[in-house]
Amino acid sequence: MSIEIKGHVERGFEAVADAFAENFETTDELGAGFALVRDGQSLVDIHAGWADRKRSSPWTADTIVPVFSTGKAITALVMAWLVDRGRIDYATRVSAVWEAFGANGKDRLTLAEALSHQSGVPGISEEMDPSDWFDRETMERRVAEAEPLWAPGDGSGYHPITFGVIADAIARRVDEKGRTVGAILKEEIAGPRGLDFMIGVPESEHRRAAEHMLPPKPPFLGAANPAKAAAFLKPWSSPGRRGTAVWRSAELPAANGHGTAGALAALMGPFACQGQLLGEAFVGAETIAQALREQTSGQDRVLPFDLSFASGVMINRDSGHFGPEPRAVGHYGFGGSCAFADPVRGVSGSYVMNRQREVLVGDERAIRLIDAAYRCLDAK
């Protein structure tokens, strides 16, 4: 199949466009974008395919798409911004700013531990309505009152949605204006720089959003346990019953960020460039060093992988999920999207798409593009 690739490719990075085309030729890719940024400068920003399953709306430079858990990395950036401004510290106990959260033995959990999926609340075990996720106060109360499924701070158990509830509750309590993660992103970070990434999409922008197609089967989670059940397997484990429009408009900092590949790659820049965003000072290098410090590693209780987490991002180690650099960090989203940052080479990038696959981490389409990008970088 011949696919028309649009966008920008710096000389010497043509192999990335070739790998992008290969995804369309050898997989069931529908519509997608990929971007690569080095030291604040765009090297690659390309897109192709269709924004809808009927193949009637071409994917354009203005098409935004939900990236699901990949957005956790951007929530981590918002939290780093709050830390850098002295509103909170990674060593601060969550209960010090959100007293109710300390119930049932969660009182000693720190911000860094919360952002590295160590709270013991990967989901809600007690029955609830899936639409409750759209009620901020209700969900904060449920998470605060929850009894942890393991000792808080004792290793990770991936938090698909509650990660965002916890981060947002902290942000609203420490931000001097009481803003949500989505509002801080819009007003302080992405908005002023014209970066097209949102947590909570205004209804006026819904027309730009690509339709996402669910994978043919659920991802493999391994042997069942209470943590996996709460995180993924309960009828209420994910937001529902309100429709796509309400879901797009809601602020779910762990799960429903929407944007372009170029914006996502740029927003990962501070993790690659000691706090610089688009070549300008954004947060301090020491803050970024703290954000990227490993908080836990080992077999995750929810995902069937041995993982290493910093404060809101995964650390590559030798996985190859974010390229060859062990110190690279990033995040994948349900279905295949990916964002990464390499603090050694000063490079960040992202892959976004609308045809999801039953992949939790390490989608072959993203890895093909990242590997091609590194081959080009190493050839320079």
Predicted local confidence at residue 380, as pLDDT = 73
Predicted local confidence at residue 213, as pLDDT = 94
Predicted local confidence at residue 9, as pLDDT = 98
C-alpha pair distances (Å), 255 with each of 40, 164, 225, 306? 26, 8, 22, 22
DSSP state of 319: S
Predicted local confidence at residue 1, as pLDDT = 54
In the block, residue with structure tokens 């951007």: 74
Q: Count how many Cα atoms sit within 13 Å of the Cα of residue 199 in the half-sphere of its side chain.
A: 32
Predicted local confidence at residue 2, as pLDDT = 78
Report the C-alpha gap between 38 and 41 in whole angstroms: 5
pTM: 0.98
The enclosing H or E element of 83 equals helix 72-84
Which active-site residues does the annotation give? 69
Angle between helices 364-379 and 14-26 in degrees, nearest 10: 160
- Burial status of residue 192 (CB atoms within 10 A of its CB: 0-12, 13-18, 19 or more): exposed
Report the C-alpha gap between 176 and 86 in whole angstroms: 11
Residues of the chain where predicted confidence (pLDDT) is lower than 70: 1
Tell me: the pLDDT tens digits for 218-230? 999 999 999 999 9
Question: Both tokens of residue 134?
Answer: 């759209």
Predicted local confidence at residue 148, as pLDDT = 98
